[in-house]
Structure 1
Amino acid sequence: MLRKVRQLGTELGFRLAPRELSLFDAARHPGEVRSWCEQQPRAQRILMLADDAQLAAPETIRRLSWLPELLVSRPFCLVLARVPGMGGTELNRLLTTTSTQLYSIRLGPLDSTASSEMLVDLLGAKPDDALRWVAEELGGNPRLLVDLVTGLQAENGIETADGIARLRGPMPPGRLQTTFVHKVRSLTPPTRKLVQVGASLGHTFLLADAAKLLRETPGNLLLCVDEALAAGLLVESGDRLGFPGRLVWQGVADSVPPSAFVPLRAEAEALRDAPAAASDTPAEDDPSARWTLLTSTERHIAELVGSGLTNRQVARDAMISAHTVNYHLRSIYRKLAIRSRVDLTRLIHQSPQ
């Protein structure tokens, strides 16, 4: 978006501040930006862009006490982008002191059309259906789209022919996985626990269920929910919380070591199956009836395994990690009282599903 703002500013006659002249660069002299602005002709319209303002150090922001005066004394436009609700007290104070000249625009996630257009800009080619689908599973987050494309290009995961870009490598690329790890670790510890435990409950979950696993009350998690929503790792869907896309969910799940995620999933499954355990259990001598004990995710994985796919192929098809496939298979075998893939294939053909 900032690239388009820069292009529009040039068309409207603004002088763009040099890219290296960063408003929030702590390494530069505090007065360098101000000096450059004051050296411009007084009637000259100036445009300065500042991205990721929420990452600026408090001391750096305090050095900008001259900014409100500059905004009212000359035709100066500052386009400042930040994650909603983040940035701390100092950034909020700076925005408050410039409130008479401040216009706030809250941007939602990119829709499928905008995601496709961004892919075209990044790739220089039209994405095929598979690549567009992958992009949509990032929840419309522009930063994640950039890291997806950069990672695929670095790992030779995209091939372009006749103006069409196609996937050719494993998903997700290493760079995108690293981004998810950094995003999760940037959260406060209680919020980090909430999103990781939430991932063990599935693509969407009830706050009450996450609270049970965390041995907390829902009320004590309200600030964590706000932080996770602001960070774009969770979204609201009716009375449930969820991850904005399956790749986001997978990225958060993969940020948990397998040694911890497997027992988390087991506890989550036990919580989800608790009401069913109190009801009549299908007769053990009726294999097809036991099929109803599987969750929708387990049914999908069982069908893929039953069709002859390897665990690695199932992981790629279901957009989950291989260790998660292994975990699901153990749960499937336990619920169906079987021991092997051969038994599973036989049961699938016997069951009306």
Structure 2
Amino acid sequence: MERILTTGERGAGSLLLVEGPSGIGKSHLLTALADEARDRGFRIPPAHVVTVPALLRIWLAQEDRKTPVLVAVDDLHKLDEELPSGLPPLVAEFTSAPVVWALARRTGRGGSEVERVFALPPSEPSLPNTRVSLGPLSENTTQALIAALLGAPASPRLAALAATASGNARLLIELLQGLREENSLAVVDGMAEVTSTDLPERVRRAVRLLLAEVSPRCRLFIQLAALSGREFDLCAVAEAFEQPAGMLLPLVEEATDVGVISGVGDRLVFTQPLFWQTVLDSLPEPMRAGLRCEPARPLGRAKDLSWPASLGETDLLIANLVSHGLTNSQIATRINRSPHTVSYHLRKMFGTLGIRSRSELAGTVRQRLRESP
């Protein structure tokens, strides 16, 4: 960012192209860039001017061409085709002017005109350019962000909760700001500690906004998948849809495209446990209690679902919390253990019970309760 703005200050133009999945931080990067540019005396065109190439050209031509300018456009793939089609000639026309172009899109999104914009560096070799591919925040960056926003390093419990955002900058920032707004944080022994297990409303709102970006059918797919657990089998969701699994592939692609799910081996998984938990909590209680997908089992194998003597009370407690949709971090907080300890007990239960997913474990717990005298 420093180099991009310095180039403009020296009277030369430059180009910043940013790509990344949804929620990884494109908007925050452009906002920070714009704030820094204003502090340095850059001129920034009004939003209504940026979106209309003809107006932008007039604004750039009429204003003082010696003062550096920042033209920042977020989510280029969502805008009317007129803008991406008009950007290449505009960039070419003002190559010699101190105009810094910062353009962002979701990875792989947009039609041929957007692709043409993101192919600008080879066609404009005289224009200094930087291409940035954003990914999830690293653990160190996450910890630094927590300390910067809260004024104190995270406690182990807060760090475990923050880890459920899996490096998604959008969810992480909403989580931290929401906890602060709802007075669910305290500084204990110099560390920021979370004092509530409830998810902040800001997180719920962020998830609702993300779900609003996908089609209604994909939104239903995500909700039904959430009922099957953070890791799920496509066939189980297809059964709830009453369609062959192959018919759901477009929905899988759409959910993957917005960074909601990804493939792990022969199964699918929600990329952020925090997102999965929020979706699950947003569903009506009857839906969570009665329509959770469970693998079909032969009636004659009811004994296989009984609780083995080799599994102790801690295993049973964790299994019960899993059946209520809690994440590993939330379970760790409830039982005062580390997330690694919870993972160990889950692996042990999976092996002992001969199951492969959290949804199967939840089904085992409910079957045990039904069989209890």
| TM-score, structure 1 as length reference | 0.70
CA shift, 1:187, in A, is 0.9
Residue 85 of structure 1 is aligned with which of 108, 120, 124?
108
Q: Give SS of 1:172's match.
A: coil
CA shift, 1:72, in A, is 3.5
Measured in 1, the distance between the counterparts of 2:265 and 2:230 equals: 14
Measured in 1, the distance between the counterparts of 2:315 and 2:274 equals: 15
Change (3 A) 1:118 1:98: same
Corresponding residue number in structure 1 for 2:343:
none
Q: Give SS of 2:102's match.
A: strand
Q: Is 1:106 paired with 2:106?
A: no
Within 5 A, what are the aligned runs for 1:219-258?
219-258=246-285
What amino acid does structure 2 have at the position aligned with 1:76? V
Change (3 A) 1:159 1:303: closer
RMSD: 4.1
CA shift, 1:100, in A, is 2.7
Q: Is 1:336 paired with 2:353?
A: no
Unaligned runs of 5+ in 2: 11-33, 324-329, 340-360
Corresponding residue number in structure 2 for 1:302:
320
Residue 226 of structure 2 is aligned with which of 175, 199, 209?
199
CA shift, 1:245, in A, is 2.8
Corresponding residue number in structure 1 for 2:353:
none
Q: Is the 8 A contact 2:8 2:100 kept in 1?
A: no
CA shift, 1:290, in A, is 9.8
Corresponding residue number in structure 2 for 1:282:
303
Corresponding residue number in structure 1 for 2:192:
165
Measured in 2, the distance between the counterparts of 1:53 and 1:10 equals: 21
Change (3 A) 1:203 1:303: closer
CA shift, 1:174, in A, is 0.9
Q: Is 1:147 paired with 2:174?
A: yes
Unaligned runs of 5+ in 1: 306-312, 320-327, 344-353
Q: Deviations over 1:299-339 (max 9, x none)?
A: 6243899xxxxxxx9797399xxxxxxxx999845533467
Measured in 2, the distance between the counterparts of 1:215 and 1:160 equals: 50
CA shift, 1:141, in A, is 0.6
What amino acid does structure 2 have at the position aligned with 1:336? L
Q: Is the 8 A contact 1:24 1:60 kept in 2?
A: no
Change (3 A) 1:72 1:118: same
Measured in 1, the distance between the counterparts of 2:318 and 2:243 equals: 32
Q: Is the 8 A contact 2:139 2:167 kept in 1?
A: yes
Residue 69 of structure 1 is aligned with which of 92, 98, 103?
92
What amino acid does structure 2 have at the position aligned with 1:81? A
Q: Is the 8 A contact 1:180 1:252 kept in 2?
A: yes
Measured in 1, the distance between the counterparts of 2:256 and 2:332 equals: 28
Higher relative contact order (CA 8 A, sep 6+): 2
Measured in 2, the distance between the counterparts of 1:90 and 1:297 equals: 55
Change (3 A) 1:128 1:70: farther
Change (3 A) 1:157 1:14: farther
CA shift, 1:151, in A, is 0.8
Q: Is the 8 A contact 1:171 1:316 kept in 2?
A: no
Corresponding residue number in structure 1 for 2:73:
50
CA shift, 1:60, in A, is 5.7
What is the number of equivalent residue pairs in this alignment?
A: 308
| TM-score, structure 2 as length reference | 0.66
CA shift, 1:238, in A, is 1.7
CA shift, 1:167, in A, is 0.9
Change (3 A) 1:182 1:303: closer
What amino acid does structure 2 have at the position aligned with 1:14? E
What amino acid does structure 1 have at the position aligned with 2:320? A
Corresponding residue number in structure 1 for 2:334:
317
Q: Is the 8 A contact 1:291 1:336 kept in 2?
A: no
Measured in 1, the distance between the counterparts of 2:231 and 2:315 equals: 12
CA shift, 1:178, in A, is 1.3
Q: Is the 8 A contact 1:9 1:47 kept in 2?
A: no
